[in-house]
Amino acid sequence: MCKLKKLAFFFLFFLFALTKSGVSQTTAHKRIDSLNDLLWKTVFLDFEKAVKIGDETIQLAKGSNYSIGLANTYAKLGVLYDINGKPEKALPYFLNAIKIQEEIRDSAGLSFSYNNLGLMYYAQYNYKEAYKYLTISLAIDKSRNDLKRAAGAMVNLGIINTYLDSLDRSLQLYNEALAIHKSSNDSAGMMTCISNMGSVYYYKKDFKMALNYYLQNEVFLRLSGITEKKSSAYNNLANTYSKLKQFDKALEFAFKDLELCTSNQLINRKQFAYESLNDIYVDMGDYKNAHVYLNKYIALRDSILNEDRNASIAEMQTKYETEKKDKELIRINAEKDKEVQRRLTQRNFMIAVIVVITLLLLIIVLAFRSKQRINKLLNEKNELNEENIKQKEVLIAEVHHRVKNNLQLINSIIDMQSRNYEDEKTITAVKDIQKRVGAIALLHQFLYQKDSIESVEMQQYISELVTGLKNSFKSDDKKIEVVCEVENLRLHINTAVPLGLIINELFTNSFKHAFANKNEGQVKIVLRKFDDLLELEVSDDGVGSNETNSNNFGKLMIRSLSRQLQAEWKVKNENGLKNVFLIKKFK
């Protein structure tokens, strides 16, 4: 009897422990799910707080062996680091999430992770990888019959295909998404698809079709009453009517947009209304009014930037007031005064630079239009004799000559303006602008001096470009060797201009920063063609890449030029710094 009592006692104890363990595990899982919900709400509000919540959730999920909760945390942390401009930290979190979700066959989680991984690559301008992962996400949504998420993935893929110049595929995806939104009566989704389809036709320069979709979108918005989207719709209509030379309609919608933004205090949208009015008046040839709205656009944009910066400074001051003593606060306020003064100087400088760049763009546009008119005459008059054709070529060469002269004049104006500044950073920025303008001027000089009026011998052009750049760095104590391995290629001006600007930017950066602690070194430029690709390599054997020798504007410009050439840009730290561009779009 005693043994039976003991066995009964141990059985009850084991059953109690097992039940308690199950309840404890369920409680832990609910706690992890709750933390993941809080993490997602915090991702877009407070970076530091979100990181702390994520770290705590990971420890709990690992401790309770809760795989689906751990994968969700990894995916959300991936989004957090991505939207805060840290893709190198976001990528491991996305990959860890995907690995777990594939093991446990969590299709909903996989769709979320692949979709956001694709969006991360999109933000890095890596459209090929973005397309790959968004396609996987769409396939998962279709297999789950999750039509709403599938429609969202289709819209994202439509945007990617636009950047990949697959415009017909973009239209197909938007039509599929539109059908899904219509079946569920999702007016917001329908408006997005219709507006994006209008944008595709706008990029295709089929402005009549673009207008048709933009007008449909405007009808939807009029019924919905979404103010900010109305502003975007009016802006699209204004730009499209301008392209169709219907300037009365263009101005009507542009001023509607401006009035809407003013009455509803849509400050960010208001700057785009001013920008569109500037563009419309330029197309009309009314440069006086164009100049008025250009100034308003610049003033408002600077005002927005200053408000954002002032808000950031105020937030920093609040934190310091709780953590630092009075003496530290006095020092911060003194530094703030210096910062305000520096910003005022930068603002005046930026206004001067924008005016100069605007003049430059106007000159280039006028020259380009003049060249187009001449080319059209050449194509239409095939029966002209050889003497007349030579005269046309002389005219085109004269256009290039005048563009070169005007660019040199602008360089002289910039040089005179720079003498009024004493700040070293400002002077350096001005000199960088002069080098960029000089690179374009040299190319136009080649076009009017050589036999061809549309293509450039890259071997001679790059040689003269880097020789001029090297001579601009007067450094007798450093022995920097420049090596050019350029194939004897003749490239069209549309390819040569961005290539020249990229070489100018990277060559200048190497001379400025790569040999700070060295008395000698080498800068190497390689341009070669293989298969259907053009490869450009600019490298040096200096100190390599670091945060101090980065140029945010230069990187932004190189990224934009790479996108124009459909180039893949790789940066490597191998015995210095190596920049490699694999260019798909060239002629």
User: What is the tens place of the pLDDT at every residue in 255-267?
Assistant: 988 888 888 888 8
Q: Is it the case that residue 461 has pLDDT exceeding 60?
A: yes
CB atoms within 10 A of CB 185: 8
pLDDT for 398: 52
pLDDT for 580: 94
In terms of average pLDDT, the best of 185-189, 258-262, 567-571 is 567-571
pLDDT for 136: 92
pLDDT for 322: 43
**DSSP assignment, residue 582?**
E
- Which of the four pLDDT bands, split at 50, 70 and 90, describes residue 393? low
What is the share, in percent, of the chain residues with pLDDT greater than 70? 71
CA distance 267 to 16: 64
**Threshold 0.75, pTM exceeds:** no
Residues near 119 by Cβ (< 8 Å), separated by ≥ 6?
82, 130, 134, 156
pLDDT for 527: 94
Q: Is it the case that residue 528 has pLDDT exceeding 90?
A: yes
Q: Residue 243's Cα: distance from chain center in Å? A: 25
- Which of the four pLDDT bands, split at 50, 70 and 90, describes residue 21? very low
Find the mean pLDDT for residues 503-528. 87
Q: With CA atoms as reference, report the closest residue to 510 among 411, 529, 433, 518.
A: 518
Average pLDDT, the chain: 78
- Which of the four pLDDT bands, split at 50, 70 and 90, describes residue 353? low
Find the mean pLDDT for residues 361-370. 73
pLDDT for 113: 92
- CA 169-172-174 angle, to 5 degrees, is 110
pLDDT for 418: 62
pLDDT for 313: 40
Return the structure tokens found at 397. 């060469």
How do strand 479-486 and strand 533-540 relate by DSSP bridges? unpaired
- Which of the four pLDDT bands, split at 50, 70 and 90, describes residue 164? confident
CA distance 423 to 440: 27
CA distance 501 to 469: 12
Q: Is it the case that residue 167 has pLDDT exceeding 90?
A: no
Find the mean pLDDT for residues 362-369. 73
Residues near 108 by Cβ (< 8 Å), separated by ≥ 6?
144, 146
Q: Which residue has the tokens 């299709």?
A: 107
**DSSP assignment, residue 547?**
G
C-beta of residue 278 within 8 angstroms of C-beta of residue 262: no
535 φ/ψ sector (left φ>0, alpha ψ -120 to 50, else beta): beta
- Which of the four pLDDT bands, split at 50, 70 and 90, describes residue 449? low
Q: Is 450 helix (H, G, I), strand (E, B) or coil?
A: coil
Find the mean pLDDT for residues 290-309. 77
Q: With CA atoms as reference, report the closest residue to 161 among 130, 190, 191.
A: 130
Q: Is it the case that residue 88 has pLDDT exceeding 60?
A: yes
CA distance 369 to 349: 30
Q: Residue 444's Cα: distance from chain center in Å? A: 28
pLDDT for 264: 83
In terms of average pLDDT, the best of 92-106, 141-155, 380-394, 503-517 is 92-106
526 φ/ψ sector (left φ>0, alpha ψ -120 to 50, else beta): beta
Query: Which amino acid, 107?
Result: S
CA distance 450 to 459: 14
CB atoms within 10 A of CB 169: 17
Find the mean pLDDT for residues 550-559. 78
Residue 70 CA neighbour count, 13 Å, CB half = 18
Q: Which of 339-343, 417-421, 575-579 has the lowest mean pLDDT?
A: 417-421
Q: Which residue has the tokens 């919900």?
A: 37
pLDDT for 36: 86
C-beta of residue 424 within 8 angstroms of C-beta of residue 457: no
Does residue 295 or residue 445 have the better pLDDT?
Answer: 295
pLDDT for 7: 47
CA distance 483 to 468: 14
Q: Is it the case that residue 586 has pLDDT exceeding 50?
A: yes
pLDDT for 311: 44
Rg of the chain over CA atoms, in angstroms?
30
C-beta of residue 579 within 8 angstroms of C-beta of residue 537: yes
Query: Which amino acid, 92?
Result: P
C-beta of residue 210 within 8 angstroms of C-beta of residue 198: yes
What is the share, in percent, of the chain residues with pLDDT greater than 90? 14
- Which of the four pLDDT bands, split at 50, 70 and 90, describes residue 226? low
C-beta of residue 473 within 8 angstroms of C-beta of residue 509: no
Q: Is it the case that residue 299 has pLDDT exceeding 70?
A: yes
Its sign, for the CA torsion 456, 459, 464, 466, is positive
Helix (H) or strand (E) segment spanning residue 21: helix 2-43
pLDDT for 20: 42
Does residue 550 or residue 258 have the better pLDDT?
Answer: 258
pLDDT for 432: 65
Q: Is it the case that residue 534 has pLDDT exceeding 90?
A: yes
CA distance 415 to 429: 11
Does residue 330 or residue 255 have the better pLDDT?
Answer: 255
Q: Residue 304's Cα: distance from chain center in Å? A: 20
Instruction: Please give the backbone phi and psi of residue 420, each rounded to the nearest 5 degrees, phi first.
Output: -85, -5
pLDDT for 419: 64
Q: Is 401 helix (H, G, I), strand (E, B) or coil?
A: helix
- Which of the four pLDDT bands, split at 50, 70 and 90, describes residue 316? very low
Q: Is it the case that residue 13 has pLDDT exceeding 60?
A: no
C-beta of residue 522 within 8 angstroms of C-beta of residue 563: no
- Which of the four pLDDT bands, split at 50, 70 and 90, describes residue 30? confident
pLDDT for 518: 81
Q: Is it the case that residue 93 has pLDDT exceeding 90?
A: yes
Q: With CA atoms as reference, report the closest residue to 102 among 126, 67, 128.
A: 67
In terms of average pLDDT, the best of 20-29, 234-243, 333-342 is 234-243
C-beta of residue 410 within 8 angstroms of C-beta of residue 359: yes
